[in-house]
Amino acid sequence: MNANKNTNKNKNRNTRKGLKQRMLEYYRNKPVPDLCCEKDYKREILIGQLFTLYEAMEKMTPQIGDGLGYMDSLYNDLFFFLSPERIQDEDKDSELISKILTRHMIKKDKNGIENVSKNGVIFVLTHVPLYYLLAFLGRAYSTYKRLKDSI
């Protein structure tokens, strides 16, 4: 009986949550927490794939869409994906990140109306850590695939 209890304790320590916490702690203490091999990826291609996916999703679901267009959908998803506020951190750092994201991605037109700036979105995607860009691309593809399979 005691052997089974010890085995269960070890299983609990090696769960996904345990691995996730260990990895987060490991990368949090690194000077530049990002993936190795950034030179193996061309960000402009990855960013282009994101725009292509969002354009395709908008065409597949015009009746579901809110009429804002794929740039607004991309902005909303990206903002909530990158914004620390999504994990309920109410501190100065999270507020600063949110302000920086908004400043770069939202621009006023001649009439003073705020619109999503494609160049601003590209700028943000060019400057986020690579693992965020890859994770966001994976999330976008998953959403695209789910929509495509449901049609």
**How many independent structural domains does the chain possess?**
2
User: Tens digit of pLDDT for each residue in 115-134?
Assistant: 889 999 999 999 888 888 99
Say whether both 2 and 44 belong to one domain.
Answer: no
pLDDT at 98 over 70: yes
- Work out whether strand 114-116 and strand 106-108 pair parallel, antiparallel, or are unpaired: antiparallel
Average predicted confidence (pLDDT) for the chain: 79
**End-to-end alpha carbon distance in the chain:** 52
Return the structure tokens found at 20.
């996730």
pLDDT at 40: 82
pLDDT at 118: 92
User: Tens digit of pLDDT for each residue in 24-79?
Assistant: 777 676 666 566 677 888 999 999 999 999 999 988 876 555 556 888 889 988 88
Say whether both 49 and 25 belong to one domain.
Answer: no
Say whether both 99 and 122 belong to one domain.
Answer: yes
- The DSSP string of 79-121 is HHHH-GGGGT--SHHHHHHHHHHHHHHEEE-TTS-EEE-HHHH
Say whether both 29 and 43 belong to one domain.
Answer: no
Q: Which domain holds residue 60?
A: 39-150
pLDDT at 10: 53
pLDDT at 18: 73
More confident residue, 25 or 84: 25
Rounded Cα distance between 146 and 151, Å, is: 9
In this structure, are residues 118 and 71 in contact, taking their beta carbons and an 8 Å threshold? yes
pLDDT at 114 over 60: yes
More confident residue, 9 or 113: 113
Say whether both 22 and 94 belong to one domain.
Answer: no
